[in-house]
Structure formats: structure tokens, C-alpha cells
């Protein structure tokens, strides 16, 4: 996705200014925590902030990062200025997680940002001679549904309609999409540009998308703001839907095409440009266990969605990236909720993720980005346990269930090391319980218990810190 000439000049000027600050010991890193809906971005960011702040106060909350970076002497949130984007409220999220009873963050409804100021003692002999480094770490939270809008920028209305209608007409999507498909296919070639028709089609299509997300566990669902409109609500530019070819040249088709174009323009201004144009490090959070337990089509749908998103992003450090800062230098793919499986299964979980994201992983590597794969839990909610099967012990996890506050020992079963064969899907699907967060310090001074967060940050940021 190449920037236009004006953006190229603006980005180059910004990059030059940042290079000058870097020479003065004041640097900036932009970390994009990406993921589909319910992948755990908000929890990940809350844990990241709490553990960096605690590490800056001398707590060994991130030992692997400490081993590869300069000594972290302080970390603090930079006070807000006059930004138009809402502020990511890490303190409020942490307080909710530490409440009695604790609460997991609600579904993210809008963009929010936070910048941390990190003070680091330089490594080696120069650390005794030169002043401390100051690194600004920019972070961002956003509705995961919006991520699936990125592939839409490469399609016009006709192309998007063809691809979408083909996708929802088969498999598990076909039944919940049946009412919408019947309505859309009944529209004549002379369908008038009436908002009663546009809104009816939009409502039926949106109802299908909600069912596909909430009941089927599917993720390749477009447009994202149909599922999560954000603070602007149900605005008229959302009143469109994929239209069969027979009615696409009708007055209604022309209206829907204009709204499709206006929607993408609005998403570019509100989401694409402020989020994905200039970050240089990326975490891709994936709920591998959720996809696995939702069934074969949900699992394959997750892989397809991640590959489509990856195809829209620019990886590596070519000449254009060095000029504009638009390339992603390091990517960490992370299987979330690794605490939901016992320790002996976590390597398998990471291996399964590596296979699931094979296409985007290879694309990033070929482009020259440093790529790593991890199994992480941003907040560890379980402990190791043993379950009995036919009188024989098996590894399991034990935690407090969110729904009733009782302890439960859970054996999630086999985690395959690669995409499962067809026989795997014939077994009944396992419903993973929701565990309660552990008791946390509301002010975050002690950090947040996690699994693998420090190793991920070491790989992703250690070279720059």
C-alpha cells in the first residue's frame, strides 16, 4: 500500500525529525498490537503497561526483556496533550481486573492510544559516560473487527460483493445468511435507490454478521463497523451490503457503491492512516484455542482472515521504508491464553500457531522482517494441575471460574502441532471456560503475572531498548 506523494513527503520529514531526536538520545518506537476480535488486545496492553511501569520501579516483572535491553530505570505514561484520539485508560482496565469480583475488559468500541516514556541506562562502558536514553513507546487499542476492513481497500464495490457473496453462500455461513441472500437475490435490475431497501438489506446482512461472529466463532467478516460501529453509531454511510451482479447497475446499486466508497474513505481517515501507516513493530494476537474449539470452518476462517490482512501490510526495511518509516521491522505472532493449556502443551500451541499463520509469516520473512512465534498469557489465571482419565493422571490446568467463583480443574485435551486432519473435527468441540483474573494490585506496582510476555517483548523490542 504505497503512500501518495504528499504523504511520502510528510512522512519523510517526520522521519528526519525523529532521527535527529534519536541522535540526541530521545527515540520513538511505535508498537501496533493487532488481532481479530476477542484476541485479547486490551488485556495485553494493560499487562504490558503495568509490567513496564513495575519494572521501571525495580520489580523483576520482565526478566527476559531486562536481559536483552538497557537497564530500565523508569516507565511512565506521558500526560495527554491535545490529541483527538481517546486515551487508552490502562489504570481503569487494571482497576476493573483487580476489583472484587474482577471484570475482564468490555469489547473495545473505539480507537484509543497511550504513549509511555521509558528511561534506560545504556549498556556497556558507554553507560557510565553517556546520559540515559529516553524512548517513547506508542501503543494503540482498537476494535478487532475493524482490522478486516484492510483487505477491502484493494477491492471496488463489485469485487467486494462478488467475493463476499461467494463466501457466505456455502458451509456454516449459508444457513444464517439465507434470509439476507434471499432478499438480495430478489432485487430486480431496476431496483430504485430507496433507503428502505438499503436499510433492509443492511440490517439483514448485519444480523448475519453478528450471528457468524457470536455463535459460529467466525472472524472473516466485513465490513468491521457493521459489527462494531464505534461512537458514530449507525451512520448512513453504513447502509450498504454486498449486491448480486444482476442488480449492481441499478439506481440502488449505484447508491450502495457510493456508500461503499465513502465508508472506505472514512475508515482510511479514521483508522488506516492513524494506525497502520507508520508503526514499525507489530504483535499479532491470535486466539488459536478459540478457533480450534469452534470447529474446522472457524479455524480455517481465522487463517484466511490473517492472510488477507497480512497481504495489505508492508513488511521489511526497503528504501521507501527507510525514508518514510512505513515498514514493519519486527513481527511477533502470539497465541493468546496460553495459560489455558498445561505447560507440556505450550510448545504445541506455538507450533500450531506457526502453521496457522504460515502465509503471513513467510510473507514477512521474505520482505526482510524479523519474525517470531510465541505462546503467551498476558495475565496468567491458572496453575498447573493433574486430571484423572480412567484412573490415569493427565496434565491439566486449575483456576477459578468467572461465572461462579469456584475452582475447577480443566483438561483442554490434545493441542495438535499443525493443522489437524479431518478426523480431528469429528470429535465433540470443547467449550473453554472463562477463568477469573488472579488477585491484582489495583495500582499495578507489583506488575501482573503473565506467561511469556517478557520473552515476546525481548524479541520484539530488545534490540531497540
Q: pLDDT value at position 325?
A: 52
Please state the three-class secondary structure of 136-163 as a single string.
Answer: EEEEEECCHHHHHHHHHHHCCHHHHHHH
Query: Are 36 and 131 contained in the same domain?
Result: yes
3-class state of residue 248 by DSSP:
coil
Does the pLDDT of residue 320 top 60, yes or no?
Answer: no
420, part of any domain = no
Query: Are 60 and 177 contained in the same domain?
Result: no
Q: pLDDT value at position 382?
A: 96
343, part of any domain = yes
Place 11 in a pLDDT band, splitting at 50, 70 and 90: very low
Mode of pairing for the β-strands spanning 407-410 and 370-375: unpaired
Per the structure, the complete domain to which residue 306 belongs is given by 5-104+109-142+277-380+439-461
Q: pLDDT value at position 18?
A: 45
Distance CA 223, CA 226 (A): 6
Q: pLDDT value at position 7?
A: 44
Query: Are 310 and 453 contained in the same domain?
Result: yes
Q: What share of the chain is helix, strand, coil (3-state, %, to 5)?
A: 45, 20, 35
Closest by CA to 287, choosing from 8, 43, 112, 36, is 36
pLDDT (average), residues 92-112: 89
Query: Are 74 and 162 contained in the same domain?
Result: no
Does the pLDDT of residue 153 top 80, yes or no?
Answer: yes
Residue 218 has φ and ψ, to the nearest 5°, of -80, 155
Q: pLDDT value at position 155?
A: 95
pLDDT (average), residues 159-173: 97
Total structural domains within the chain? 2
Percent of the chain scoring above 90 in pLDDT: 64
216, part of any domain = yes
Tell me the C-alpha to C-alpha distance, in Å, between residue 175 and each of 152, 165, 201.
24, 13, 17
Does the pLDDT of residue 142 top 60, yes or no?
Answer: yes
Choose one of 270, 301, 330: the last residue of a domain.
270
Q: pLDDT value at position 125?
A: 65
Residue 320's beta-bridge partner residues? none
Choose one of 225, 240, 270: the last residue of a domain.
270
Question: Alpha-carbon dihedral of residues 96, 100, 106, 112, nearest 10 degrees?
Answer: 0
Q: pLDDT value at position 317?
A: 60
Residues 6+ apart with CB under 8 A from 414: 345
3-class state of residue 396 by DSSP:
strand
Residue 227 has φ and ψ, to the nearest 5°, of -85, -35
Percent of the chain scoring above 70 in pLDDT: 90
Query: Are 454 and 358 contained in the same domain?
Result: yes
Residue 83 has φ and ψ, to the nearest 5°, of -65, 145
Average pLDDT over the chain, rounded to whole? 88
Residue 134 has φ and ψ, to the nearest 5°, of -120, 120
Of 439 and 190, the structure prediction assigns the larger pLDDT to 190
How does pLDDT run across 364-392, given as a tens digit for each residue?
999 899 999 999 999 999 999 999 877 88
3-class state of residue 350 by DSSP:
helix
Query: Are 69 and 122 contained in the same domain?
Result: yes
Helix then strand count (H, E) for the chain reads 16, 10
How does pLDDT run across 252-267, given as a tens digit for each residue?
999 999 999 999 999 9
Q: pLDDT value at position 15?
A: 46
Query: Are 42 and 64 contained in the same domain?
Result: yes
Query: Are 300 and 167 contained in the same domain?
Result: no
C-alpha cell at 236: 448512513
415, part of any domain = no
pLDDT (average), residues 54-65: 93
Choose one of 254, 270, 286: the last residue of a domain.
270
Q: pLDDT value at position 423?
A: 86
417, part of any domain = no
Query: Are 264 and 347 contained in the same domain?
Result: no
Query: Are 304 and 446 contained in the same domain?
Result: yes
Q: List the end-to-end C-alpha distance of the chain, in Å, as a whole number.
A: 29
Query: Are 301 and 365 contained in the same domain?
Result: yes
Of 112 and 445, the structure prediction assigns the larger pLDDT to 112
3-class state of residue 312 by DSSP:
coil
pLDDT (average), residues 144-169: 95
398, part of any domain = no
C-alpha cell at 266: 472514512
C-alpha cell at 99: 476489583
Place 68 in a pLDDT band, splitting at 50, 70 and 90: confident
Does the pLDDT of residue 417 top 50, yes or no?
Answer: yes
Query: Are 172 and 212 contained in the same domain?
Result: yes
Place 242 in a pLDDT band, splitting at 50, 70 and 90: very high
433, part of any domain = no
CA angle at residue 265 from 40 to 281, to 5 degrees? 40
385, part of any domain = no
Residue 95 has φ and ψ, to the nearest 5°, of -60, -40
CB 432 within 8 A of CB 289: yes
Q: pLDDT value at position 25?
A: 46
Residues 6+ apart with CB under 8 A from 241: 180, 184, 198, 201, 202, 204, 205, 256
What CATH number should be reported for the domain holding residue 137?
3.40.50.300
Which of 13-27, 294-308, 417-431 is modeled with the greatest confidence?
A: 294-308
Amino acid at each position: 500500500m504505497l503512500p501518495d506523494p504528499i504523504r511520502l513527503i510528510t512522512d519523510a520529514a517526520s522521519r528526519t525529525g525523529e532521527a535527529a531526536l534519536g541522535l540526541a538520545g530521545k527515540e520513538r518506537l511505535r508498537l501496533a498490537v493487532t488481532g481479530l476480535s476477542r484476541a485479547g488486545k486490551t488485556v495485553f496492553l494493560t499487562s504490558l503497561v503495568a509490567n513496564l511501569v513495575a519494572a521501571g520501579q525495580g520489580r523483576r516483572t520482565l526478566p527476559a526483556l531486562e536481559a536483552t535491553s538497557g537497564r530500565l530505570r523508569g516507565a511512565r505514561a506521558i500526560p495527554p496533550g491535545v490529541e483527538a484520539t481517546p486515551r487508552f485508560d490502562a489504570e481503569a482496565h487494571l482497576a476493573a481486573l483487580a476489583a472484587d469480583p474482577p471484570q475482564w475488559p468490555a469489547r473495545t468500541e473505539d480507537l484509543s492510544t497511550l504513549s509511555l516514556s521509558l528511561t534506560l541506562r545504556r549498556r556497556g562502558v558507554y553507560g557510565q559516560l553517556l546520559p540515559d536514553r529516553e524512548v517513547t513507546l506508542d501503543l494503540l487499542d482498537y476494535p478487532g473487527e475493524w482490522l478486516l476492513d484492510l483487505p477491502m481497500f484493494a477491492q471496488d464495490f463489485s469485487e467486494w460483493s462478488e467475493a463476499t457473496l461467494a463466501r457466505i453462500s456455502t458451509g456454516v455461513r449459508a444457513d444464517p445468511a439465507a434470509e439476507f441472500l434471499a432478499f438480495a437475490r430478489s432485487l430486480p435490475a431496476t431496483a430504485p435507490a430507496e433507503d428502505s431497501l438499503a436499510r433492509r438489506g443492511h440490517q439483514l446482512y448485519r444480523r448475519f454478521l453478528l450471528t457468524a461472529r457470536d455463535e459460529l466463532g467466525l472472524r472473516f467478516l466485513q465490513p468491521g463497523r457493521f459489527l462494531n460501529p464505534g461512537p458514530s453509531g449507525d451512520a448512513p454511510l453504513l447502509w450498504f451490503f454486498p449486491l448480486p451482479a444482476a442488480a449492481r447497475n441499478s439506481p440502488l446499486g449505484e447508491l450502495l457503491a457510493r456508500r461503499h466508497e465513502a465508508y472506505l474513505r472514512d475508515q482510511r481517515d479514521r483508522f488506516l492512516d492513524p494506525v497502520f501507516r507508520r508503526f514499525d513493530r507489530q504483535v499479532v494476537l491470535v486466539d488459536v484455542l478459540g478457533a480450534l474449539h469452534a470447529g474446522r470452518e472457524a479455524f480455517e476462517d481465522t487463517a484466511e482472515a490473517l492472510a488477507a490482512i497480512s497481504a495489505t501490510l508492508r513488511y521489511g526495511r526497503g528504501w521507501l521504508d527507510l525514508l518514510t518509516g512505513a515498514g514493519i521491522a519486527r513481527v511477533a505472532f502470539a497465541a493468546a491464553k496460553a495459560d489455558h493449556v498445561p505447560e507440556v502443551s505450550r510448545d504445541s500451541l506455538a507450533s500450531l500457531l506457526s502453521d496457522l499463520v504460515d502465509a503471513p509469516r513467510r510473507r514477512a520473512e521474505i520482505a526482510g522482517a524479523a519474525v517470531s512465534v510465541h505462546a503467551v498469557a498476558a495475565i496468567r489465571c491458572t496453575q498447573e494441575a493433574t486430571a484423572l482419565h480412567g484412573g490415569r493422571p493427565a496434565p491439566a490446568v486449575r483456576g477459578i471460574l468467572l461465572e461462579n467463583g469456584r475452582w475447577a480443574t480443566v483438561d483442554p485435551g490434545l493441542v495438535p502441532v499443525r493443522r489437524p486432519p479431518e478426523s480431528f473435527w469429528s470429535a465433540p468441540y470443547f467449550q473453554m471456560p472463562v477463568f477469573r483474573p488472579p488477585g491484582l494490585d489495583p495500582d499495578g506496582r507489583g506488575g501482573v503475572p503473565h506467561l511469556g510476555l517478557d520473552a515476546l517483548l525481548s524479541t520484539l523490542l530488545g534490540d531497540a531498548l
